C-alpha cells in the first residue's frame, strides 16, 4: 500500500521554514513546490502578483511619568506615522471598550487587551484617541520562548481613520501596568514595502469530461517566526499528494490546483488569482481548499460555503468512505471563501488541535506538531473525495451559494469589500429599473 503520509511528511519537513508574503523564502518555497509537481510529470506555472503595505521601520514606546522606562514594541502594519520627534500623551488602560471608557479615552494613548474588532476600531477612532497598543502572546511567556511579530489590522479598518498603533508582549504589558504609567512618549515610522508573491498553478486534464473543472488549493506562505508546518505546509503537501495520485490515475473531469502565496496578509493570493481569471468564477464546479492539517493531536473538520444540500452530500460520502470528519456550514477565514465570493461552492478542509494543543502563527507551529499517519489519513480522504467529484456521472454539487452563506461572506469581507455585496447591489438596481 502506498504511504502517502511519509512522502507528505518528508516534503513538509523540507518546506518548514518561515515563508512570509513577498519574501525570498516564499519565492523559494514556490519553486520547491513547482519542482516537486514537475517530478509527477505535470507542468506547473508561477503566476506573479504584487503585494504592498506600509511596513513599520521604527517603533518606540517609553513611559515618561511617574518613572521613565522604555518597552519593546512593534509598529502595526497600516497604522499612521507619528510626526517628527514623536508624540506625548496621557496613558489609559481600556479594560473594556464601552461608552464610559470611550468618553475617557479622548486624546489618550490607550492599551487594549486584544486586536479590536472593526466596530470597536471605528469607535476608538471616533473617540479621538492619540494612539493605541494591543497585547500579543500569553502571560506565561518568557523573552526566550516568545516572539513579537509584526501585526496588522485589515485594510477595511482604514476607512474609519488611523492613528499610530503598536503591539507589545503580554508580559511587558503587565510590567508596564505595574509602573502605574501616567504619560507616555511614542514614535512610529513606516515605509512602503512592495514585492512580488506567486501562485503555483497546475492543470490535470480530465479524460471524457475534460471541459468541466474542479479546483483544489491551499496556501503555502506562513507568518513571521512560524515554520508553518501545520498552517499551511500540511495543506500544501496534501494537494501535492492528490496531484501525484491524479498524475497516475487520470480523472474524468479536469482538476486545477492552485497553491497560494500571501494568504496570511489577507487572502491576497486567491484574490489575485480570481482577479486574473474572473471567468473561472462562472465555470469552476467547486473549490476544495485545505488550510491547516497533519496535527498529531486533534480532529478533522470541513467547512462548506455553499448549500445545505452540498453539506449533506459531503457528510454522506465521508460516511460511506469511512472518514470521521465534522462537516458544518460557514465562511472560513481562508482562500476558499474568495472562490465562494465569486459564486464557486467551496469546501474547506481543516484539522484542529485540542485547546492549547497547538499555537497557530507562532514558533510552535513546526514539525513537532505533525504526524505522518495523520497526513496519510488526510491525503487519503482528499483523494477519496476527489475521486467522487471528478468521476461522478453528473456533478453532484449544485453551483449555488445559499442566502445565509452569502450573508456570512459579506460579513467576513466587510462593508464594500466583497463581490457578493456588489452583485447583490447590482441585482437590486436591476429590479428597481
Ligand atoms: Zn492558514
- Cα 230 to ligand 1 centroid, rounded to whole Å: 8
Instruction: For 169, list phi and psi in degrees, rounded to 5.
Output: -60, 140
Q: What's the pLDDT tens digit per position in 298-342?
A: 999 999 999 999 999 999 999 999 999 999 999 999 999 999 999
Buried b (16+ CB within 10 A) or exposed e, 198-226: bbbbbebebeebeebbbbbbbbbbbbbbb
- Cα 396 to ligand 1 centroid, rounded to whole Å: 28
* Burial group, residue 324, by CB count within 10 angstroms (0-12, 13-18, 19+): exposed
- Cα 376 to ligand 1 centroid, rounded to whole Å: 19
Nearest to 238 by CA among 91, 161, 351: 351
d(CA 1, CA 5): 11
- Cα 11 to ligand 1 centroid, rounded to whole Å: 18
- Cα 127 to ligand 1 centroid, rounded to whole Å: 34
**Whole-number mean pLDDT of the chain?**
96
Which pLDDT score is estimated for 184? 98
d(CA 260, CA 30): 9
- Quickly tell me which residue has 490607550 as its cell: 110
Is the CB of residue 34 less than 8 Å from the CB of residue 157? no
Q: How many CA atoms lie within 13 A of 130 on its CB side?
A: 20
pLDDT of 432 over the 80 cut:
no
d(CA 374, CA 159): 43
Which pLDDT score is estimated for 111? 98
**Confidence tier at 156 by pLDDT (50, 70, 90):** confident
**Confidence tier at 151 by pLDDT (50, 70, 90):** confident
- Cα 264 to ligand 1 centroid, rounded to whole Å: 7
Q: Which residues contact 116 (CB under 8 A, 6 or more apart)?
A: 97, 124, 134, 153
- Cα 245 to ligand 1 centroid, rounded to whole Å: 24
For the chain, list the domains and their CATH numbers: 4-52+195-401 (3.40.630.10), 67-181 (3.50.30.30)
- Cα 231 to ligand 1 centroid, rounded to whole Å: 5
Which pLDDT score is estimated for 152? 86
Is the CB of residue 163 less than 8 Å from the CB of residue 116? no
- Cα 35 to ligand 1 centroid, rounded to whole Å: 22
Q: SS3 of 114, please?
A: coil
- Cα 331 to ligand 1 centroid, rounded to whole Å: 14
Q: What's the pLDDT tens digit per position in 402-427?
A: 999 999 999 999 888 999 999 999 88
- Cα 92 to ligand 1 centroid, rounded to whole Å: 34
**Confidence tier at 431 by pLDDT (50, 70, 90):** confident
d(CA 345, CA 339): 7
pLDDT of 1 over the 80 cut:
no
- Cα 329 to ligand 1 centroid, rounded to whole Å: 18
- Cα 406 to ligand 1 centroid, rounded to whole Å: 22
d(CA 235, CA 288): 11
Percent pLDDT > 90 in the chain is: 91
Q: What is the mean pLDDT of residues 248-273?
A: 97
Q: What is the mean pLDDT of residues 169-185?
A: 98
- Cα 267 to ligand 1 centroid, rounded to whole Å: 9
Is the CB of residue 23 less than 8 Å from the CB of residue 226? no
**Confidence tier at 47 by pLDDT (50, 70, 90):** very high
Nearest to 238 by CA among 249, 246, 250, 248: 246
- Cα 263 to ligand 1 centroid, rounded to whole Å: 7
Residues by chain with Cβ below 5 Å of ion ligand 1: 231-232, 291
- Cα 211 to ligand 1 centroid, rounded to whole Å: 31
- Cα 357 to ligand 1 centroid, rounded to whole Å: 17
- Cα 291 to ligand 1 centroid, rounded to whole Å: 5
pLDDT of 149 over the 90 cut:
no
Q: Which of 47-51, 112-116, 349-353, 413-417 has the lowest mean pLDDT?
A: 413-417
Q: Which of 84-98, 147-161, 212-226, 377-391 has the lowest mean pLDDT?
A: 147-161
- Cα 12 to ligand 1 centroid, rounded to whole Å: 15
Amino acid at each position: 500500500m502506498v504511504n502517502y503520509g511519509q512522502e507528505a511528511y518528508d516534503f513538509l519537513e523540507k518546506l518548514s521554514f518561515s515563508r512570509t508574503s513577498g519574501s525570498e523564502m516564499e519565492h523559494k518555497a514556490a519553486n520547491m513546490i513547482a519542482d516537486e509537481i514537475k517530478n509527477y510529470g505535470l507542468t506547473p506555472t508561477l503566476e506573479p502578483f504584487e503585494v504592498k503595505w506600509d511596513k513599520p521601520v521604527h517603533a518606540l514606546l517609553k513611559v515618561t511619568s511617574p518613572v521613565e522606562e522604555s518597552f519593546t514594541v512593534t509598529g502595526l502594519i497600516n497604522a499612521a506615522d507619528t510626526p517628527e520627534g514623536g508624540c506625548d500623551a496621557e496613558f489609559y488602560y481600556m479594560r473594556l471598550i464601552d461608552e464610559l471608557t470611550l468618553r475617557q479615552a479622548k486624546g489618550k494613548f490607550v492599551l487594549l487587551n486584544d486586536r479590536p474588532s472593526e466596530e470597536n476600531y471605528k469607535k476608538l477612532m471616533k473617540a479621538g484617541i492619540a494612539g493605541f497598543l494591543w497585547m500579543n502572546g500569553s502571560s506565561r511567556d518568557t523573552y526566550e520562548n516568545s516572539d513579537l511579530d509584526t501585526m496588522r489590522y485589515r485594510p477595511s479598518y482604514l476607512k474609519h481613520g488611523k492613528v499610530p498603533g503598536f503591539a507589545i508582549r503580554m508580559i511587558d504589558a503587565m510590567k508596564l501596568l505595574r509602573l502605574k504609567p501616567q504619560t507616555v512618549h511614542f514614535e512610529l515610522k513606516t515605509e512602503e514595502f512592495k514585492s512580488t508573491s506567486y501562485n503555483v498553478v497546475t492543470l490535470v486534464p480530465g479524460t471524457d469530461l475534460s471541459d468541466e473543472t474542479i479546483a483544489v488549493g491551499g496556501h503555502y506562505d506562513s507568518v513571521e517566526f512560524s515554520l508553518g508546518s501545520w498552517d499551511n505546509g500540511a495543506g500544501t503537501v496534501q494537494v501535492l499528494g492528490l496531484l501525484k495520485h491524479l498524475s497516475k490515475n487520470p480523472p474524468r473531469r479536469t482538476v486545477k490546483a492552485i497553491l497560494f502565496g500571501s494568504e496570511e496578509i489577507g487572502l491576497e493570493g486567491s484574490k489575485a488569482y480570481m482577479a486574473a481569471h474572473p471567468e473561472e468564477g462562472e465555470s469552476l464546479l467547486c473549490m476544495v481548499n485545505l488550510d491547516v492539517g497533519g496535527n498529531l493531536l486533534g480532529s478533522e473538520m470541513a467547512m462548506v460555503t455553499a448549500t445545505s444540500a452540498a453539506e449533506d452530500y459531503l457528510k454522506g460520502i465521508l460516511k460511506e468512505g469511512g472518514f470521521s470528519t465534522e462537516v458544518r456550514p460557514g465562511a472560513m477565514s481562508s482562500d476558499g471563501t474568495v472562490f465562494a465570493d465569486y459564486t464557486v461552492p467551496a469546501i474547506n478542509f481543516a484539522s484542529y488541535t485540542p485547546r492549547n494543543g497547538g499555537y497557530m502563527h507562532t514558533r510552535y507551529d513546526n514539525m513537532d506538531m505533525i504526524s505522518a499517519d495523520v497526513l496519510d489519513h488526510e491525503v487519503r480522504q482528499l483523494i477519496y473525495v476527489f475521486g467522487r467529484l471528478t468521476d461522478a456521472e453528473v456533478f453532484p454539487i449544485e453551483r449555488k451559494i445559499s442566502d445565509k452563506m452569502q450573508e456570512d461572506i459579506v460579513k467576513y469581507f466587510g462593508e464594500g469589500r466583497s463581490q457578493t455585496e456588489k452583485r447583490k447591489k447590482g441585482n437590486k438596481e436591476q429590479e428597481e429599473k
